[in-house]
Amino acid sequence: MLHKIITNKKQSIFQNLKKLFANKSLILAFVKRDLKIQFAQTYLGILWLVFQPLLAVTVYTLFFNNFIKLDTGNIPYPVFVFSGILFWQYFLYAVANSSTSLISNQNIISKIAFPKLIVVISKPIVGLLSFIINLLILTALLFFYKIIPTIYLLSLPIFILLIYFTGLSFGIWLNSLTLKFRDLQHLMPTIIGYAIWITPVFYSVAIIPPKMFFIVYLNPVAGIIEWFRWTLFGGEIPSLNYLYGIAFIIIFFILGLIYFNRIEHEIADKV
């Protein structure tokens, strides 16, 4: 016999995470739905996912390889920059899109009870589609420039996991804070856009003066890109100091989950 008691008591994070794992099919349903909506809304659909990164690599190559020559060692610039674009664009997508997941799903959140975290975690999963397309483009570039990656490229799944959790952590925080401060949804994409300057996407990290390196070390996306580049092109092993960025993300993620859990019961009221 079903027996449930509803009170003002908040559920612990572990209970909530357990509920989340029990709802795997719902997570899949959200991902499928978001993908369908994305392609229904854009006429170009999948073509846009290819066009966008190609446009980025063209512009960066033009400016930072032709007009100004930034040194990338003996790695051809287009491949170098694309290896950064791969992760940077995913991060941008995850942050820009998931910061308003709760608000944009207001009409179901206020009417049906379900674990709200699902709404936040599904968007970065949807972003993985364009990531995979970018990966294919990268493969084509590697082929074109006749670059054979090192065996360490097999650790790619770890990088994918890391960038997913990086995007997800920001998504969780932004969703929680945007609930209270609506202007964040307009401010954040702009602010995050500037973060490209502390991420070695279109430049080699060697141009950063040593005193400023700590900023780059704290940037998890920088660490992911640098180590990924090493698995592709070999050469000098990147500094272990990048692990500070990874540690930052782990702490950021856990704190995000805790805060989200604290405000979860208010989401339907405030969304």
Partner 1 sequence: MDNIIINIENLSKKYYLNKNNAIIPFLCSFKKSNGLEIRALENISLKIKEGESIGIIGDNGAGKTTLLKLISEITRPNSGKIELFGSVASFFDIAFSFHPDLSGLDNVYFMANLMGFSKSQIKPIIKNLVDFSEIGNRINTQVKFYSHGMKIKLAFSIVAFVDSDILLFDEISFLGEDIKFRQKINKRLQELKDKKTILLVSHYLEDIKMLCSRTLWIDSGEIKMQGETVSIINKYIKKILSN
Residues near partner 1 (CB under 8 A) are 1-8, 10, 25-26, 29, 33, 36-37, 40-41, 107-114, 177, 180-184, 187, 265, 268-269
- Rg over CA atoms, the chain: 20
Q: Cβ of residue 70: shortest distance to partner 1, in angstroms?
A: 36
Nearest to partner 1 of 8, 74 (CB atom): 8
Q: Cβ of residue 18: shortest distance to partner 1, in angstroms?
A: 15
Alpha helices in 145-242 (DSSP H): 156-180, 184-194, 213-218, 220-233
Distances (CA, A) of 59 to 143, 193, 206: 21, 16, 21
Q: Cβ of residue 34: shortest distance to partner 1, in angstroms?
A: 10
Measured between alpha carbons, how far is 136 from 113 in angstroms, rounded to an integer? 39
Q: Cβ of residue 120: shortest distance to partner 1, in angstroms?
A: 15
Nearest to partner 1 of 2, 237 (CB atom): 2
Nearest to partner 1 of 41, 190 (CB atom): 41
**CA-closest candidate to residue 202, choices 225, 176, 223, 180:** 225
Nearest to partner 1 of 19, 156 (CB atom): 19
Structure tokens at 220: 């998890």
Measured between alpha carbons, how far is 137 from 41 in angstroms, rounded to an integer? 24
